Structure 1
């Protein structure tokens, strides 16, 4: 085996095809590399021993890890396994955590050889041409590369991919989306099998708690809708995909583009459902847009509400009012779609009264479900930088940045109280008879039911 791209061992409940690794595999193929494999340790339910046995057997020359902050310790252990099993293997790290901690990540994961931050479809092939093929490429000329220059760590400036249509589709033959279990990001689904799809990159908004811009930037870059529909049709015909999860950070900024997408789904006569696990932007939704999406398979989606306190919303730079939120949620219901809401508990400067207002507001809104996440001081966000500058937080334990944990609490509120608020919010919202019965009616199989119970238990009671 020459090149192995890895989704590491994780405690997340999401089991979805790693579309980012699929894009990297396609980019490598386009540049002449053919011996490429993708290993999803979550899907395969690998233990560290399983991973070690796999590495010893396959002996890959290159191993690339996708790194999220909450998986930091597991990635570190996995890298050490590779280094011990095959000392000559070149180890490369990338992903959201690498982009947000690029100045120090090779010191913390010191057994890794290189890091790639930002988008990897152009810089990873250049790195492998240099390291595997010995081509005359200087490390300093590879955009987005993090590398060791003697005892010094060098971080090259990244470059955005402006033309997303120039990218090949993800290597779906390696990802095999039709073989994934029914544990999607949003927990619930309408049809199966499911595949994620990305139609754009970047988000122009400045929410203080969000770090997505560190990977994809502020500029919204769009795929041509024909290009998107061609990929969906391939997945529909070749892999039997019947539900799509559109994972854009900002899908509905331009009404004409949403209409073009919906018209294209109609024209191609794909009998599908689709949803938006990362959420839609509320202020750009209108009745016509919602009706078009409903007519072409949209059935439910999540919207980022975050707080029931206008003061806190303003601090988050959400550019939303409580009045607008209520109006848009009512509109979504009027057209026959089912909204769920994202909320944050324990945001900096939040008071107990603010949290109570959020819980009350969530129950007032006509939402099907609500996700109450504890505030996570993610690296690279404006909120985290403010907390560090004010000395309110110090070094962050990366593994604590997980939805069931409480890595931070505002002044005057203990972490124990934040967890109690989260439990209260979740239970008081979902144990209402109408909400609970609706949720139970959407469970597909005993296995799906077991997965939902496990998620709920970990969400509420595992710290």
Structure 2
């Protein structure tokens, strides 16, 4: 069958990420595409956000491929774009089947089915999408896909049905490499520089379950990782093919298993790969020895999820790390010659404005090379969403604003506006420090820094609308549209 897969356009997400020149490929769709191609289907991918396409332009491009089925992937801030896209496509061709997938619709499948989706793939998409497409190819609408696991759909009477859960793919090595040949590989940039980058996924899942993160709830609490040789082989093949030595690992946690890291480093060395790469890690997973090995293998920057300045907060969010581990990891990274980027979240419901101030001061004192600040955002499917919902803290229900830089909820003792102001203060405090600017001059990065700061300030730091002080007024909830669908028995 002819299948078009779309990474849905989202105006606000597009604006934020393009404003600082960061564009990354939709690896999830690329994996699904490769599985479908392997089974003999003709597939194309439209990365609408990266290509800067409007909803109308995306629909036109998709329909020009004369597809039998269209698949649309959506995260929360692009959900409305996905729904608008589905509506336009249905208006042009009411018989065309639309499948949606991704974290947002996996948790809000009834919402998706109400807004243009014929089917919703829940959770990991490769096996379910393939089985569904082959089911449609064989049976069309003549019978219901009750035996396709991991699926939501409406029956002939319009009732929402949920099939049995899809087991996780335990052997990630069984998946073919993502279909990069279907992606605009020359469009994926860092800070708008003409730099070719290879993005690689080595693992899926997270065993920790932080209350704000959908990763463990979408990909599962079981940590699964590909074999070191398979990952190194993919790195080697694609750095040669695309003539680059820059690799970004998209994993939340690459270093969870020390033995795996050792084997991977040995694979890189034995293949004689001269690469530079960045990765994400928990501060509790690294050791001084591991970081030295990673540096020798080409690791230049490591991203740590730190989030707060005190253990009490970290315990409440379920992170299972300590400030002592944070300090050690950052120090060891510096000793190894690896730059550090730290994530800090402002505005958890129980925090105060003073807590946010202290988190900002801690991030500066800690000595990370770069800091990413976001506001706590209650994504559907997470414990934070349930907490915020039960306590009446959510004030904005427009998914366009769920980007982590627009406050959508208040706290028990602070307003959305205060959270927005603290986010602006955080970025200005960190990046406009004389010591930081001097450090960038010494590294020869001043021009890049000035460009990034100018873009960021213009995009969401200088405008009251962008920091939550002038976002839409709280609206009465549309219960039908936004409530998480009640669990249903598989049929």
User: Structure 2-normalised TM-score?
Assistant: 0.87
Task: Indicate how the Cα distance of structure 1 residues 251 and 188 shifts in structure 2: closer, same or farther if over 3 A, else same.
Answer: farther
Output aligned runs, 1:210-359, within 5 Å.
210-276=213-279, 279-359=280-360
Show the counterpart of 2:429. Answer: 428
Match of 1:70 among 70, 77, 80: 77
Deviation, 1:162, is 1.0
Deviation at 1:250, TM superposition (A): 2.1
Q: Deviations over 1:58-82 (max 9, x none)?
A: 3322111110101122111111111
Q: Secondary structure at the match of 1:16?
A: coil
Structure 2 match to 1:118: 123
Out of 92, 97, 103, the position equivalent to 1:85 is 92
Q: Give the number of the structure with larger relative contact order, counting CA–CA contacts within 8 Å between residues 6 or more apart.
A: 2
Say if 2:25 and 2:188, in contact at 8 Å, map to a contact too: no
Separation in structure 2 between the aligned mates of residue 365 and residue 298 of structure 1, nearest angstrom: 21
Change (3 A) 1:22 1:56: closer
Distance (whole Å) between structure 1 residues aligned to residue 47 and residue 442 of structure 2: 31
The residue correspondences of 1:383-422 to structure 2 (distance < 5 A) are 383-393=384-394, 396-422=397-423
Partners of 2:384 and 2:198 in 1: CA distance: 32
Whether 1:169 and 2:177 are equivalent positions in the alignment is: yes
SS at match of 1:308: coil
137-146 vs 335-344, which moves further: 137-146
Post-superposition Cα deviations, 1:299-337, rounded to whole Å, max 9, x if no partner, equal 112101101132211211222222221122111111111
Tell me what 1:196 maps to: 199
292-301 vs 38-47, which deviates more? 38-47
Structure-2 change in CA distance of 1:165 and 1:370 (3 Å): same
Distance change in 2, residues 1:391/1:227 (3 Å): same
- What CA deviation, in whole Å up to 9, does each residue of 1:88-127 have, x standing for no partner? 21111001111222354312x2x22111011111111111
User: Residues 341-393 of structure 1: CA distance to partner in whole angstroms, max 9, x if unpaired?
Assistant: 10011011001221111011111111111111011011111122122233433
Deviations 1:177-222 (A, max 9, x none): 3x12423xxx599x93112111111111121111112221000111
- What is the DSSP-based 3-state SS (H/G/I as helix, E as strand, rest coil) of the residue aligned with 2:230? helix
Which residue number in structure 2 is paired with residue 100 of structure 1?
A: 107
- TM-score, normalised to structure 1's length? 0.92
Count of residue correspondences: 453
**Matches of 2:241 and 2:181 in 1, distance apart?**
10
1:158 aligns with 2:166: yes
Change (3 A) 1:310 1:300: same
Contact 2:431 2:437 survives alignment (8 Å): yes
Q: Please name the residue that 1:8 is paired with.
A: 8
The SS at the match of 2:105 is helix
| 1:194 and 1:244 in contact (8 A); partners too | yes
Q: CA RMSD in A?
A: 2.4
Structure 1 residue ranges, 4+ long, deviating more than 6 angstroms after superposition: 440-449
Distance, in Å, in 1 between the alignment partners of 2:321 and 2:269 is 32
* 8 A contact 1:388–1:394 mirrored in 2: no
From 142, 146, 151, the equivalent of 1:140 is: 146
Separation in 2, partners of 1:204, 1:372: 24
Counterpart-to-counterpart distance in 2, 1:67 and 1:80: 15
Gaps of 5+ in 2: 468-491
